[in-house]
Amino acid sequence: MTTGFVDADRADVTVVVVTYRSGAGVADLLDSLRDESRLLALHVVVVDNDSTDDTVDVVRTFPDVELIDAGGNTGYAAAVNRGTARAEAASAVLILNPDAVVAPGCVGALLAALREPGVVAVVPSLIDASGTVSHSLRREPRLVATAVDAAVGHHLPHRPRWSSETIRDSLAYSISHDIEWATGAAVMIDAAVARATGPWDEGFFLYSEETDYFRRLRRLGRVRFVPEAVVTHLGGGSGTSQHLQDLLTVNRIRYAEKHHGRAWAALFRGLVVTSELARSYSPRHRATLRVVLDRARWERLPRAQRRALTPGAGSGTVVIPAHDEAAVLATTLAPLSELARTGTIEVIVACNGCTDGTADIARSVPGITVVDTGAASKTGALNAADGTALFWPRMYLDADIVVTPRAVLDVLAALRGGGGDVGDVLAARPPFVYDTRHASFLVRRFYAARSRVPDFSRHLWGAGCYALGEVGHRRLGRFPDVVADDVVVDGLFAATEKTVVDTDPVVVAVPRTVRALVAVLSRSLRGNAAVPRTTDARSSLATLARSVRGPVSAVDAAVYVALATAGRVAARRDRGWVRDETNRG
């Protein structure tokens, strides 16, 4: 196999490297991985946590490495989650610190061990720059071991196993065996298991996130130490400071409180206090002791920092009202997740009266804000989201509509700077296309005819997606309690104040059956009846008649008229709001 890294869809292993001011060592790591790529297809992802040195420039000298800007210093766990999400086809994910270098054959040895029955993750042997084996293996925190560590610290290294969290027995580093956890400088995880385990807990920011993640891995299988796989770890990648020392200590307490009862966690915290008190002759330990004793100080410890949205391309808010949309919401959020995670845009899912897993799905996507209201009201959800949103312009997107990142950025950019001057665009939407692949013959003919009527492509309604600048939204005020919010918005603006942006179209899934289509037309007509007409029906029919150019278009027009008429008849008979379920499979 030729040396070089591959794209995500061709990888055996996706390697995730989180960098933060790592310019001094990351090139050595990438060089060592390139040597490993002679025998394995490696996809290498570097997620940079807002480095202020030359890290990004160094990584860019490796053109086949995928570089992701985290959008700020988001923390180790959040960056790992960003990188792991790129493991699309790989069978394993290898997470490495940037100050590490893999020895020849390391990745292959880890992958071979990972394929053993029941093994879900593997860790290599870590050595320092002098070749000395590091004590990287750990036991799950226990009260007795914590008490002994508090009493003797790093003294008495050759003490019984039960009396320390760190494994120091040299035999343990010479043979392959199952472990509880290891320092997170290097770990390979089965990709399917990683998806089943879920994301790393971003609440830890730094420290204890690997303890937490290994604990969750062990519920699914065995974690194995592989001594023949060797990684040189220089250490110091996170730097040292008083704040980081405080965070390390506090996160151990947070871990105890997350996984144990109140009494156990209180005893653990007491032992930590005892340890810091016994070493309070040191100014650093006195400072940590003050933090441990005062929970108010915990909120001032290092935490995720995202770069603020700027007036640059793409900044704004996307609002998604959602009522029991668990079947489709993940598909809608997928193309928006990268923009949300990087802070390029704000994404708010406004759950209203949900009784399924809609809110849980939204919360599982990093960067998404969830507003949850009890009443099943779309306009109520839109108003609630407006009360939370921070940025302009704002795009309002139905939960079953798929929009590309480019379309979002282009539409928001078209509205930025619209201050209400003559000629300014105050409202916009992307173009749309109908997805009729799964629809019946008559439904396809209906939408073929509809696509030929220009009136249906000039307005803000019909796409399940529109956007308003701040001035345009001021004209609207609050969303009124109507079904056809897009029709209301469209009627507020003259033709010169709204536009369809030349960008990627959104995909509108149509009803699959005639019965479902008639129900949708009925609902639409009843909703439109509450607001002024935006188009004249006779004018649309005249335009439709002029679109007839042969037998096929004539059949399309006839089908359109017949089904539209059926919808009008149903609108006089039907009551209530009905959602089309045929396009959600």
- CA–CA separation, 238 and 21 (whole Å): 9
Per-residue CA distances from 158 to 144, 155, 173 (Å): 16, 9, 15
What is the model's pLDDT at position 315? 77
Amino acid at 56: V
Q: Region 42-66: what's the mean pLDDT?
A: 92
Residue 278: pLDDT over 80: yes
What is the model's pLDDT at position 556? 81
The answer to whether residues 202 and 249 touch, using CB atoms and an 8 Å cutoff, is no
What is the model's pLDDT at position 107? 97
What is the model's pLDDT at position 40? 94
Model confidence band, residue 576 (pLDDT cutoffs 50, 70, 90) = low
What is the model's pLDDT at position 308? 57
Residue 78: pLDDT over 90: no
Model confidence band, residue 535 (pLDDT cutoffs 50, 70, 90) = very low
- State percent of the chain over pLDDT 90: 42
In this structure, the number of other CB atoms found within 10 A of the CB of residue 5 comes to 22
Token pair of 278, please? 């016994």
What is the model's pLDDT at position 122? 98
Residue 117: pLDDT over 90: yes
Place of tokens 């206090």: 273
Model confidence band, residue 584 (pLDDT cutoffs 50, 70, 90) = low
Torsion of CA 310, 311, 313, 317, to 10 degrees: 70
- Worst-scoring range by mean pLDDT, 131-135, 188-192, 223-227, 508-512? 508-512
Residue 307: pLDDT over 70: no
CA atoms within 13 A on the CB side of 320: 29
Model confidence band, residue 154 (pLDDT cutoffs 50, 70, 90) = low
- Worst-scoring range by mean pLDDT, 57-66, 385-394, 549-558? 549-558
- Worst-scoring range by mean pLDDT, 160-169, 174-183, 220-229, 359-368? 160-169
Residue 547: pLDDT over 90: no
Residue 580: pLDDT over 70: no
- CA–CA separation, 351 and 408 (whole Å): 21
The answer to whether residues 123 and 179 touch, using CB atoms and an 8 Å cutoff, is yes
Residue 574: pLDDT over 90: no
Residue 191: pLDDT over 90: yes
Model confidence band, residue 565 (pLDDT cutoffs 50, 70, 90) = confident
What is the model's pLDDT at position 299? 84
Residue 419: pLDDT over 80: no
Q: pLDDT, tens digit, for every residue of 428-466?
A: 999 888 888 888 899 888 888 887 776 666 788 888 899
- CA–CA separation, 488 and 460 (whole Å): 10
Q: Region 30-50: what's the mean pLDDT?
A: 93
What is the model's pLDDT at position 306? 67
Q: pLDDT, tens digit, for every residue of 65-74?
A: 988 878 788 8
What is the model's pLDDT at position 534? 46
More confident residue, 312 or 564: 564
What average pLDDT does the structure give for the chain? 85
Query: Which has the closest alpha carbon to 357: 327, 379, 380?
Result: 327
- Give me the helix-helix angle, 209-218 and 242-259, nearest 10°: 30
Q: Region 107-114: what's the mean pLDDT?
A: 97
Per-residue CA distances from 138 to 146, 155, 173, 500 (Å): 13, 17, 12, 58
Residue 237: pLDDT over 60: no
Q: pLDDT, tens digit, for every residue of 246-257?
A: 999 999 999 999
Amino acid at 78: A
- Worst-scoring range by mean pLDDT, 245-249, 319-323, 343-347, 387-391? 387-391
Q: How far out from the chain centre does Cα 330 lie?
A: 10
Q: Region 378-383: what's the mean pLDDT?
A: 88
What is the model's pLDDT at position 30? 96
Q: pLDDT, tens digit, for every residue of 465-515?
A: 999 999 999 999 989 888 788 888 998 999 899 999 988 888 888 888 888
What is the model's pLDDT at position 188? 98
- State percent of the chain over pLDDT 70: 86
More confident residue, 530 or 451: 451
Q: What share of the chain is helix, strand, coil (3-state, %, to 5)?
A: 40, 20, 40
Among 322-326, 517-521, 544-548, which range has the highest average pLDDT?
322-326
Residue 310: pLDDT over 50: no
What is the model's pLDDT at position 542? 66
- CA–CA separation, 570 and 121 (whole Å): 59
- CA–CA separation, 193 and 195 (whole Å): 5
What is the model's pLDDT at position 536? 46
- CA–CA separation, 345 and 265 (whole Å): 39
Q: pLDDT, tens digit, for every residue of 321-343?
A: 999 899 889 999 999 988 888 88
What is the model's pLDDT at position 1? 42
The H or E element that residue 110 is part of is helix 106-114
Among 266-280, 433-447, 528-542, 566-580, which range has the highest average pLDDT?
266-280
Residue 212: pLDDT over 80: yes
